Amino acid sequence: MNQASIQNPETQVAKTPQMNDRDFLNDLLATEKYMTSSYTTFLHEASHQQLYQDMLHIFTETQNCQRELYNLMFKKGWYKLEAADQQKLQQSYQQFQGYTNQFPYQPNVQ
């Protein structure tokens, strides 16, 4: 089954042995993703409140930077997504909807 891509028109960059803007942004984005993942692990295990707050602030700045890099790459067409298959989405929704009766509390759905 062919899925549609979600992507802006690609901004062309010269194909040379040297790193270009796309390569640099891709490297930065990968680094920011790694850093936010590592900070998350730290935050789960931090026992000192002030250190936790300081690291949470750094995590938030890093996460915001990661999001800005993602947005820039998507805008330039250097980051594409695959559109979700509607049938698979519906199947997943139905599967997890059935789990709600296992919750220790019942959510108030209005």
Q: What is the pTM of this model?
A: 0.71
Instruction: Specify whether the CB–CB gap between 80 and 22 falls below 8 A.
Output: no
**CA 39 → CA 35, 52, 54, 60, 103, distances in Å?**
6, 10, 11, 10, 29
pLDDT of 13: 85
Instruction: Specify whether the CB–CB gap between 30 and 66 falls below 8 A.
Output: no
Residue in 80, 64, 68, 67 with CA at minimum distance from that of residue 11? 80
pLDDT of 83: 85
| Cα 53 from Cα 40, distance rounded (Å) | 12
Q: Is residue 100 part of a domain?
A: no
pLDDT of 110: 57
Q: Is residue 33 part of a domain?
A: yes
pLDDT of 82: 86
Read off the tokens for 88: 């698979």
Domain limits for position 32: 18-76
Q: Is residue 83 part of a domain?
A: no
The helix (run of H) or strand (run of E) holding residue 33 is helix 21-45
Q: Is residue 96 part of a domain?
A: no
Q: Is residue 64 part of a domain?
A: yes
Q: What is the pLDDT along the chain (110 residues), one digit of tens a residue?
A: 456 788 888 898 888 899 999 999 999 999 999 999 999 999 999 999 999 999 999 999 999 999 999 999 999 999 988 888 888 888 888 888 877 777 777 766 65
pLDDT of 109: 60
How many domains are there within the chain?
1
Q: Is residue 61 part of a domain?
A: yes
